[in-house]
Structure 1
């Protein structure tokens, strides 16, 4: 299995980025009966190589550019094997894996510029990390114990984020019982950053209407265009208005590791909480999200329970308090920290920062190529690593043409862009996140796109 996976990674460029799952294989996977008798592991592995391996989403491949998915590393893959062999539950207790996660969290706070004694926990991804931040912020506005015991009791708590914020922020407000209408989506400026004047106006209007502003979320790398909200200014507003300042840095937070990009994230170190994913620009295999919270006491007060069967001791296996189940909803937790630690320790922050810079340089190369082609049009500034553009066409045909071209290129196996909508126009979106992607890969994609666009125009 290891030899085959090494060979698979080494030969990625030789195969398609993605290929559609054949109907017969899809049917076979879906209809297989629950086994009453065991099967030969060799037979099962053969099914993996024939039915699963060729038909994954393709984010390991250097031509994968559609969504913000990291490419993974062999070091992380091997760490996953070791963690699975150890089979440790990191909900708590006195054990070395827990200490390693604490070290990873300390490193993360240090990389982001937050205090090293900040609290945190590794989670599935930024959707859960942002949700934990929202819950902690609701408890911070008053006596958290009262809210945990009796709920919000109709308190009109109100939060703020830009219209460009990831949808998991709105969903987090939903899951927290606040309702999506409690999140005010503030318009963005021409650079797709939160308009701070409109933010200030919205806060004033909400206070005048009897609502209770409590949280402000800024994005460090928005999902559509990679723009960065004015974090320092947002931090100032949060301080003036006594709001919890949260930053969703799902992929963009790690741009702090790049000396040439770090100034764009000024203000992230002032956050009360920060969400980020190591499985994006950190190149750690899925899943590896993280939440860092400045106030460890407030964080623990949001989740900790006093239960007899989870009693803590000063020595023995039940020592080591506080446990990670005190900082999030999960009691059963895998050893994610090992693959994060292995990746960070193998490559170091300097080399990871160079990789981030390299991804952004490839994105700029792609943007330059688009500017040189008269039939193409950039639709948003290239702030970090995301390029949004379209093939020019009459308005009545443009949206459908660009959507069709995205599907054409995906099915060709040459590359995997995605589609989004920018200022009401359908856009082809490329996110350069994979450390394996080079300028040559984007040129190959552009050549295929222009050829396919010409064929469609001729028809």
Structure 2
């Protein structure tokens, strides 16, 4: 008779006997290596290109038929992945609005993986943890305690959910769940500076990206509310049906904050759904310095933001809050036999999170949010937000002092856009020059800015979102930019 305890014949994937001890040792070694890696980030390169040999190995390795020793997996991760990640943990990473993560968040992610809870629904402790985290988010953002919410992958999904809820909240809108949106000429509004995921949300919602009207911005890159009112009036006159206006708290290009007070007032007057995309800027409310300027967020009908940006929660951890929980649920809830809700037992605890978004299978994102907020506290996180903004102002001042650099936009929060003055070049050649400098800086491993376009010109963009970034890091960025520029000008590139 076959030995049913054999790891080869057993259907269980758990270790057997002493294999547990071996796995424990490997696990502790990997955890210690990650702590050591985090402790020595400043000694490492911000980013380095993935070698072709490793890239080709990933692209041409066949699906494993036989399992390998866990030590081999640990070695492959250590040598082929860890040194070549995107670099956003590093204090020199400033290119995109990525949080840096924390050791506490890393531990919470590990625990969530071990628990392997599905938060689509049912009655269990992880669901209550997410409800607690959402209740905290509602309080932090100044929304009423009757508001609903859900944790999602990020603000792209959060904005998509907001567009869906807003379109179903119009008169007769719930019928769209069955009939589709083709017969309703719904249109919405956002500034030209709005994140591209808002346009994509209109596309995915079946409204079409052209149904999102892009409103001009003023000299400070904030939505022009007079233009907004004119566009609403023109659309109504043309027989279209305005239903939504999106204000941005922290634009992706320059970090500007739209005039949310004015936009909210127009939305109320025009009976439009008022949504705020606060992907990173909403969390500036954690700071006493910025809370007042973002007070209107609490008056929004819905709000999207990311814990994985300024709150430093590991990816991914986005959030959507909706003022009217009934309208939120009405846009997504389903009655299915295999998802019946009971008054007790494991199928109790309705409403479930699958009633508030498109996902039935959902991971335990709330654990790392809970860990981060409870261990560090909102006061410390608010101070961290202020420090990021202080470092951004320091960078802006440094740029102003350099004769070969120019600041290209006001610094509202933590994003600094600047450009090398390319004397004797056309604007197009200067764009190419600045773009090449950014790639040079990234490949140096000393800093990682990115680019964007301001008034049609390509600029260097530094977003100070990482809690580890200090003045010395932005000085290194500027020094490296200047050194790379000088090398190119002298023909050394």
Please, what TM-score do these two structures have when normalized by structure 1? 0.99
Q: Report what 2:23 is aligned to.
A: none
- One of 465, 470, 488 as aligned partner of 1:438: 470
SS at match of 1:132: helix
Partners in 1 of 2:476 and 2:174 — Cα distance?
A: 57
Pair 1:100-2:129 in alignment: yes
Q: Report what 1:283 is aligned to.
A: 312
Pair 1:325-2:325 in alignment: no
State the 4+ residue runs in structure 1 displaced beyond 3 angstroms. none
Moved more, 254-263 or 171-180: 254-263
SS at match of 2:462: strand
Q: Where in structure 2 are the equivalents of 1:278-317 lying within 5 Å?
A: 278-317=307-346
Pair 1:419-2:448 in alignment: no
Residue 145 (structure 1) shift: 3.0
- One of 90, 93, 97 as aligned partner of 1:64: 93
Residue 263 (structure 1) shift: 2.3
Asked if 1 retains the 8 angstrom alpha-carbon contact of 2:190 and 2:213, the reply is: yes
Q: Where in structure 2 are the equivalents of 1:16-415 lying within 5 Å?
A: 16-393=45-422, 394-396=424-426, 397-415=429-447
Residue 64 (structure 1) shift: 0.1
Larger radius of gyration: 2
Residue 154 (structure 1) shift: 1.8
Asked if 2 retains the 8 angstrom alpha-carbon contact of 1:106 and 1:117, the reply is: no
Partners in 1 of 2:279 and 2:181 — Cα distance?
A: 28
Partners in 1 of 2:462 and 2:249 — Cα distance?
A: 18
Partners in 2 of 1:431 and 1:234 — Cα distance?
A: 26
Q: Report what 1:455 is aligned to.
A: 487
Deviation readout 1:216-275 (Å, 9 max, x if unpaired): 000000000000000011000000000000000000000011111122223111100000
Asked if 2 retains the 8 angstrom alpha-carbon contact of 1:144 and 1:301, the reply is: no
Partners in 2 of 1:145 and 1:195 — Cα distance?
A: 32
Partners in 2 of 1:4 and 1:96 — Cα distance?
A: 31
User: How many residue pairs end up in the alignment?
Assistant: 459
Partners in 2 of 1:145 and 1:242 — Cα distance?
A: 17
Asked if 2 retains the 8 angstrom alpha-carbon contact of 1:144 and 1:302, the reply is: no
Partners in 2 of 1:59 and 1:68 — Cα distance?
A: 9
Partners in 1 of 2:324 and 2:292 — Cα distance?
A: 25
Unaligned stretches of 5+ residues in structure 1:
none
Unaligned stretches of 5+ residues in structure 2:
1-29
Please, what TM-score do these two structures have when normalized by structure 2? 0.92
Asked if 1 retains the 8 angstrom alpha-carbon contact of 2:142 and 2:295, the reply is: no
SS at match of 2:289: coil
What is the alpha-carbon root mean square deviation over aligned residues?
A: 0.7
Asked if 2 retains the 8 angstrom alpha-carbon contact of 1:125 and 1:287, the reply is: yes
Partners in 1 of 2:165 and 2:425 — Cα distance?
A: 46
